[in-house]
A = this chain, B = another copy of it.
Amino acid sequence: MTVRAEPAQHAGMRASNLALVLGEVARTSPVSRAQVAARTGLTKSSVSGLVTDLISAGLIVESAPAAAERGRPATGLGLAPGGAAGLGLEINVDYLAAVVTDLTGAPRYHHVVRRDNRDRAADEVVADLIEVARTATASAASQGLPLAGGCVAVPGLAVDGTLVRAPNLGWPEVDLADAVGEATGLEIDVQNEANLAALGEMWFGAHQHEGEPLRDFVHVSGEIGIGGGIVIGGEVFRGAHAGAGELGHVVVAPDGPRCGCGGHGCLERMAGQQEILARAGVATMSDLTRACEAGDRAALDAVTDAGRHLGVALASVLTLLDPAAIVLGGAFATLAPWLAAATSASVSHHTGAADPPALLVSGLGSDAAVRGAAGTVVRRVIADPAAYLTRHTPR
């Protein structure tokens, strides 16, 4: 009854059917053509044609036999480990990182360069990042992995490929998508690191294996700054101006001191790494964990105090957003052995909840954002294989 032209409708339908089939293979593999047909509602002959296209595009491989529902075992299909790969990059306050992830989500390359980027010019750091990116793309090439694109995680607000605000770096606007895209020949996306860390946790974190994957949760991303990623129904919630989730600037001390953001009494000002290190009287995070392990009083007090402040912010998060879980990531994951009990107690004190959602601890730590960045690239291929096919085939 609609008035759309037939050919457009047909191309749109083929694209959506390719996505249906690849999505089903991504969800459960090995899976047979017949199972894919049954689960998607497509006919067996349609599935066969679509699978042939996806195999020749290198996105699907025939693997071990799928568990037969009846009769003889059928050929199993799986995502191709040699198919489209994603490049994840990260600029953070005290490190640069790169990850190459294959289509199955497995990391195939991972490199971190620790260096304080706060007193350096943006150009200089971007030049370093491009070096890091080139080494990563060379590794992908040597492994025969075709990169479908890249994504850069940044500690700030990114709009249309440009880093527009990064309070903890103090840079002017930087057009990262252009600079990194030109150097690598890839299409580059730029996203906030706290949001990418939340996605990394959802896709690659251990908690995805506890029953269902987490789809409604808040990820606390503690590096030099404190960030938050709000995931609702499996998607990052970005707010009206892409600024949502700034957990580090929730007010935890209304009469507290001025924060770098211009506000007062923000969580980051009371429980950020610099504050903790200063109170503990140590210089680095590894000094701090060593001091905590040794039972140093000042270090433990500094960490539990930060944990209490974090609990105040999380109490407000729970009351406003009612998430299914909270995941402590980044530095807070590292400090969890000494911090989590104080945080839990503070959450209980401020919410009065007898049974608040568990505080989970991320196993990915500071790698969550760069892994999430690489993951967004391959997830995009799985969500829209037709777009990938158009650009990357015929070969």
Q: Which residues of the partner chain B approach A110 to less than 8 Å between Cβ atoms? A: none
Q: Which residues of the partner chain B approach A4 to less than 8 Å between Cβ atoms? A: 41
Say whether B322 contacts A240, CB under 8 Å: yes
Query: In residues 282-324 of chain A, which contact B (Cβ within 8 Å)?
Result: 312-313, 315-317, 319-324
Q: How far is the CA of A317 from the CA of B240 in the complex (A)?
A: 13
For residue A17, CB closer than 8 A to chain B, the reply is yes
Say whether A250 contacts B320, CB under 8 Å: yes
Q: Which residues of the partner chain B approach A351 to less than 8 Å between Cβ atoms? A: 249, 261-263
In-complex Cβ contact of A1 among B42, B239, B263, B312 (8 A): B42
For residue A108, CB closer than 8 A to chain B, the reply is no
For residue A72, CB closer than 8 A to chain B, the reply is no
For residue A243, CB closer than 8 A to chain B, the reply is yes
A-B contact list, 9 entries, CB within 8 Å = A1-B42, A4-B41, A230-B320, A239-B321, A246-B320, A247-B320, A262-B351, A263-B349, A266-B319
For residue A134, CB closer than 8 A to chain B, the reply is no
Q: What 1/0 mask marks residues of chain A from 252 to 284 whose CB sits below 8 Å from any chain B CB?
A: 111000110111111000000000000000000
Contact (A320, B322) CB under 8 Å given A1-B13, A13-B1, A264-B350: no
Q: Which residues of the partner chain B approach A66 to less than 8 Å between Cβ atoms? A: none
A→B interface (CB under 8 Å): 1-4, 13, 17, 41-43, 46, 216, 228, 230, 232, 237-247, 249-254, 258-259, 261-266, 312-313, 315-317, 319-324, 349-354
Say whether A237 contacts B244, CB under 8 Å: no
Say whether A322 contacts B253, CB under 8 Å: no
Say whether B319 contacts A249, CB under 8 Å: yes
Q: Which residues of the partner chain B approach A46 to less than 8 Å between Cβ atoms? A: 1
New contact pairs (19) apart from A240-B323, A320-B321, CB-CB < 8 Å? A1-B17, A3-B41, A232-B237, A237-B321, A243-B319, A244-B321, A244-B322, A246-B319, A250-B316, A250-B320, A251-B252, A251-B319, A254-B254, A254-B312, A263-B349, A263-B351, A264-B352, A265-B350, A316-B316
